Structures are given as C-alpha cells and as structure tokens.
C-alpha cells in the first residue's frame, strides 16, 4: 500500500486517512507462521505545523503455541504506531523518522516492519501458566507433579532398610 501525501505535505492542518489489510501470513517466526489473519491497519497522516505525523493502529489475530505448556491458543495483537515523516533527513541516524520516497509513503513496508518488531519473543497462554514439569512432563496447570522427591544422599542407607 503506497500513500501519496503530495496534497498535505505543504498544507498545515491537512489530513490523509487510510485503511487497508496487510497479508503477513507467510512470515516465519521460530519455525511457525503465527499471523493467521490479515493485519488490519487504520490511521491517518496529519500535517501539524509543517511536520507530518503518522498515527495508526495495526491489529491481527495470532495462532500461537504457549512457550511454557505447549498448548495452542489464539490472541489478538494490536499495536499503536506514531511516527514523524520527512522528505529528507538531516540526521541519518534518527530511527524515529520515516523517510518518504518523494511524496510517497510505502505504508505496507512501514507496517510490516512495525508489526514484526512488536511481536513477542515469549508467548504464554495465560499470565500464570505453570508449564510442564521438567521431570515427569505433567501439565502443572491441570495436574500435580508425579515426580518422587529426591532423597538426601546421606539417608540412602536408611531408604535401603525401608525397601
């Protein structure tokens, strides 16, 4: 999606609204493709005192696996984006400003980057997920651990008597 901002670049108070869907279903994250629905992007670019401000939201439903218990779950991911736009940069290292191609904003590229950067590195099916026992593999959210407690090695002679 490319936005032509020519009509508002030199028009203080000018606003250009936009809304589109972005297909990111083929992006791979750690061997999975969690973005199962199109990312819906809605926002505006506004000229405020000769500064172009991009404000938008991007939202999609994600198909995830819990990193603690391994169960599949779905969650809606919504991000807020607010960036300044410029036709030329004075400081090449300013990552908060998006450079336009003439008067064109490549919104598809901008929101693909923003959405990918906001993806969580750890996904839990719920905040208090206890995960799986490392010893017996029991799902600690639904059942107690089946592991036998480790015996103090100093008492191993006594345990032999109990058997």
Residue 155 DSSP symbol: G
Render pLDDT for 41-97 as a digit per residue (tens, 0 to 9).
999 999 988 889 999 999 999 999 999 999 999 999 999 999 999 888 776 666 678
**Cα angle 13-53-60, degrees, rounded to a multiple of 5:** 125
The dihedral formed by the CA atoms of 153, 155, 156 and 159, expressed in degrees to the nearest 10: -150
pTM beyond 0.85, yes or no: no
């Amino acid at each position: 999606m490319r936005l032509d901002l020519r009509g508002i670049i030199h028009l203080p108070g000018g606003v250009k609204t936009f809304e589109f869907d972005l297909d990111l279903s083929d992006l791979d994250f750690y061997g999975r493709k969690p973005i199962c629905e199109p990312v819906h992007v809605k926002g505006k670019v506004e000229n405020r005192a000769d500064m172009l401000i991009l404000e938008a939201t991007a939202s999609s439903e994600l198909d995830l696996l819990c990193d603690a218990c391994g169960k599949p779950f779905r969650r809606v991911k919504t991000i807020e984006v607010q960036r300044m736009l410029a036709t030329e940069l004075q400081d090449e290292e300013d990552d908060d400003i998006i450079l336009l191609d003439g008067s064109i904003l490549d919104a598809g590229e901008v929101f693909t980057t923003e959405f990918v950067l906001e993806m969580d590195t750890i996904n839990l099916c719920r905040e208090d997920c206890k995960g799986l026992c490392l010893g017996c593999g029991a799902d600690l959210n639904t059942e107690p651990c089946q592991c036998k407690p480790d015996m103090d090695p100093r008492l191993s002679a006594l345990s032999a008597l109990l058997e």
